[in-house]
A and B are shown apart, each in its own frame.
Chain A
């Protein structure tokens, strides 16, 4: 192990140190919110700094199994943002329920380490290692409210199906390794390119491997029909955890998709193109249809996150149809989705400040009158999730659609399906607005106070939701640079 390798993986080292520091701080000042939050946020800022400095030069480490390139930098920064925002939103909710912030924050940072490893993985084994590192803290977090039956149930479901899907994916990876003789993505890609150039069909082993990998990945991104764990895990988890689960592991899973399907399986993209088209179509449609019938906002957002997975898969389908622009569209959508969805969950969490308040639609009744600012911010996030300009969600969707239209053929039809879905989605997103502004408060008079950290997070997510809609140029450039890693 050379010193240069350590320097290349320094963001991960920094992240582990931050997680450790949070635990140490908790030993010194047990169960105190301030120090834990302070160390986490400062530590994450430091990690972001290390990522930025490190991102200046592309390098590989540990025999080419880890690649610090533009894609890694882009995704790493996004992961840091996700975790930092989640930590901003958490204290109010956790504090009122006597749940410790330090363990929560440490768990998040450990999960982030796994996600960062996925983003940089150029080897099948490292990829799997990163995946497990990312999801295992996620299982813990889902069951974080251990005295709450729903939380435990959600965590168990999440854990069982998560392990199951990891095993499926691992089996696919193993078959691929067996058939190509390499665990390095470049090696796999080279071998597959030779097959694709020869025009021969995939061998049975590779075809089975591809099928297993597709199914495993579909589980992880929560694509229909592999989505069943999502609603229970989301609804049962403490709301800040749900917010994190809806974006963190999702963006992480898409990082895995990029590294695995584009980096390693790119040469045989014609073989997985059709599967992705079908997955994208049914994922967005079914996610939206089921979301239409939900009366619990957390569960509704869970199904809507499935629909958003479908939109992102359209970008992947466009890539498979030969449009490399599909990759930047995936990255841009991931970032836009992160901010608007975290914002929406933050509002849900803020409403549940007092223990016992559910996330049922009734909780939102008259919010526009009780807490106008919160109501307006929620409206902004929901409009963005719907895809109405001038918001981040709108441009992200337009960006996906333009790439899909460029790709033509079945992908262009996906674009039409996507917009029809967006129109249907307007119904359930706007229903929350109806409750907030067009109904009277249901007897609730006492206003919960929201902490300064929560407000900071809300204004950051709201600001980015608007800014990325009005001026998407800089992020678009960054996404383009990151996507160019794949040539």
Chain B
């Protein structure tokens, strides 16, 4: 299949923008038409991204489907996009989750539907742009573009304490990203100075990859990039915005926040922070590994004591994303594969869990676990779905959540068995907080609170089921055949370990 003649990546990225413009032209009272157009636009993006997935050649090294034109010529800034396996995986994850989120917003969002859908579509443009941008300036623009719609989504359609949460989210993210901007400009200048004052290629990712930055610059630049992405992931101790944002965000906002925005952090580390500044990455690795282990344990422990269902899932994200950063900074093949798998799987599973939390919140407008109980008898399908994704999140073998964590674990064991022993305990902790939550919610007698709201406890609606089924199917598929993702991203893994960080590939890939 010849994909080189069509600007496929641009089409995927900007299809939602076209949708947003169309939505803006529709009169406010035609809410159904607004919803239809928004869903249509995300579907176009989804279908095109599946076409990308099919046409992508995983065996070919480097970036494919490159598009390149000058943008801001005096500084050599280009519009340059391209995809490798990691980009493709992230793009498909984004289009899938956004389509599902738009669908899941149909019922809960009744106020200002038009503005909501425009924000959501612009959010998708920003996220997709981040995953395909190969010019650092362009990447930064998309990275910041994500911020504004999310700010509005939490701030306008969020819960009671939404304004505090959304401002906190913005300020945290902005501090990190603006320092990253300084680093981007600093590295560009170093590149320019080394090339006789010519700005050509100074923001071009592929050219910067070939360039070796000196130690001091690497140190500061890595620190800035790391801070920006660590806040996004979020790593302990930069995570405090996450529970607030999640609790206040509307359901679909939480899905995207957990499913895609956190992945931007992991993606940024793999794509930019580590390969551009390999020496500094090596120097920082022990610190990052330490923080990751703390995040894994801390997130799990704090999740254990959360009274609010959504906050529990939010803290479990901190723990699960700790595996991602751990896997990246071990510089070891299985661990890195595991980190990438974990990114995809966490997106699917936690996205689904937030949808499920949204279902019960939609019925009772309450998320306090202590008030729940005995739900299995009233909402059996819901209970089954919740149980399925809960077990996936806990890392039940055969479902996708297991594979990523297991690979990171294997990688950790190869590098440092002591650390591996510590994180084994966390796998038990994860099982504990998830199973305990499930037990309190679904088993036993129907709680007094639920008895009051008995009339509202309707089981899963068809649309809700429709949003969950694709995620469930993918969780099973990737649980049984993780090689599907591993093959896709193997090029990225080899590239990172082979050239940049310089770690030798010690182990064969045993999943294939």
Residues of A within 8 A of B (CB): 368-369, 372, 383, 387-390, 394-395, 398, 401-402, 405-406, 412, 415-416, 419-420, 422-424, 426-427, 430-431, 433-434, 437-438, 471-473, 476-477, 480
Contacts and interface: CB of A to CB of B under 8 A. Distances in A.
A402 B189 contact: yes
25 contacts: A387-B178, A388-B148, A389-B141, A389-B144, A389-B145, A390-B141, A398-B137, A398-B181, A402-B185, A402-B188, A402-B189, A405-B182, A415-B185, A416-B179, A419-B178, A419-B179, A420-B178, A422-B178, A423-B171, A423-B175, A430-B167, A433-B155, A434-B167, A438-B156, A472-B72
Interface string B389-433: 000000000000000000000000000000000000000000000
A426 B174 contact: yes
B152 A437 contact: yes
A401 B182 contact: yes
A480 B115 CA distance: 40
Contacts of B185: 398, 401-402, 405, 415
B170 A430 contact: yes
B189 A438 contact: no
B145 A390 contact: yes
Interface in B158-195: 162-163, 167, 170-171, 174-175, 178-179, 181-182, 185-186, 188-189
B74 A477 contact: yes
Interface string B60-81: 0000000000011111000000
B151 interface: yes
Q: Which 5 A-B pairs have the closest CB atoms?
A: A419-B178, A389-B141, A402-B185, A423-B174, A423-B175
Nearest to A419: B178
Given A398-B137, A422-B178, A426-B171, 17 more contacts: A369-B112, A388-B148, A389-B141, A402-B75, A406-B189, A412-B186, A416-B179, A422-B174, A423-B174, A430-B151, A430-B167, A433-B152, A437-B115, A437-B152, A471-B72, A473-B72, A477-B74
B147 interface: yes
A273 to B, nearest CB: 19
Given A388-B148, A405-B186, A427 B178 contact: no
B140 interface: yes
Contacts of B179: 416, 419-420
A438 B167 CA distance: 12
Contacts of B144: 388-389, 394
A333 to B, nearest CB: 15
Contact of A415 (B140, B174, B182): B182
A401 B181 contact: yes
B178 A423 contact: yes
Contacts of A388: 144, 147-148
Contacts of B167: 427, 430-431, 434
Interface string B126-165: 0000000000010011001101100110011000001100
A464 to B, nearest CB: 16
B140 A389 contact: yes
Contacts of A437: 115, 152, 155-156
A330 to B, nearest CB: 16
A383 B112 CA distance: 21
Contact of B74 (A369, A401, A423, A473): A473
Interface in B309-332: none
Interface in B467-508: none
Contacts of B148: 383, 388
Nearest to A437: B156
A438 B155 contact: yes
Nearest to B168: A427
Q: Which of B115, B171, B181 has the most CB of A within 10 A?
A: B181
Nearest to A479: B74
Contacts of A405: 182, 185-186, 189
A170 B280 CA distance: 53
Contacts of B186: 405, 412
Q: Which of A368, A401, A430 has the most CB of B within 10 A?
A: A430
Nearest to A407: B189
A394 B185 CA distance: 13
Contacts of B162: 438
Nearest to A390: B141
Contacts of A416: 179, 182
Contacts of A412: 186
Contacts of B181: 398, 401, 419
B220 to A, nearest CB: 9
Contacts of A472: 72
A424 B178 CA distance: 11
Nearest to B111: A369
B152 A427 contact: no
Contacts of A395: 72
B155 A434 contact: yes
B117 to A, nearest CB: 14
Contacts of A420: 175, 178-179
A341 to B, nearest CB: 19
Contact of A476 (B72, B147, B175, B182): B72
Contacts of A383: 148
A405 B167 CA distance: 29
Nearest to A434: B163
Contacts of A438: 155-156, 162-163
Contacts of A401: 181-182, 185
Contacts of A419: 178-179, 181-182
Contacts of B152: 433, 437
Contacts of A431: 167
B349 to A, nearest CB: 31
A5 to B, nearest CB: 35
Contacts of A427: 167, 171
B74 A480 contact: yes
Contacts of B112: 369
A415 B71 CA distance: 24
A383 B141 CA distance: 13
Contacts of A415: 182, 185
Contacts of A372: 115
A434 B152 CA distance: 9
A437 B175 CA distance: 24
A395 B147 CA distance: 17
A477 B115 CA distance: 37
Q: Which of A402, A412, A415, A426 has the most CB of B within 10 A?
A: A402
Contacts of B163: 434, 438
A281 to B, nearest CB: 15
Contacts of A424: 171
A420 B178 CA distance: 7
Contacts of A476: 72, 74-75
Contacts of B188: 402
Contacts of B189: 402, 405-406
Contacts of A434: 155, 163, 167
Nearest to B224: A416
Nearest to B174: A423
B180 to A, nearest CB: 9
Contacts of B151: 430, 433
A115 to B, nearest CB: 27
A154 B178 CA distance: 36
Contacts of A402: 75, 185, 188-189
A366 B343 CA distance: 39
Q: Which of A401, A415, A420, A423 has the most CB of B within 10 A?
A: A423
Q: Which of B140, B151, B152, B174 has the most CB of A within 10 A?
A: B174
Contacts of A471: 71-72
Q: Which of A387, A420, A433 has the most CB of B within 10 A?
A: A433
B501 to A, nearest CB: 26
Contacts of A394: 141, 144
Contacts of A398: 137, 181, 185
A406 B74 CA distance: 15
Interface string B324-366: 0000000000000000000000000000000000000000000
Contacts of A473: 71-74
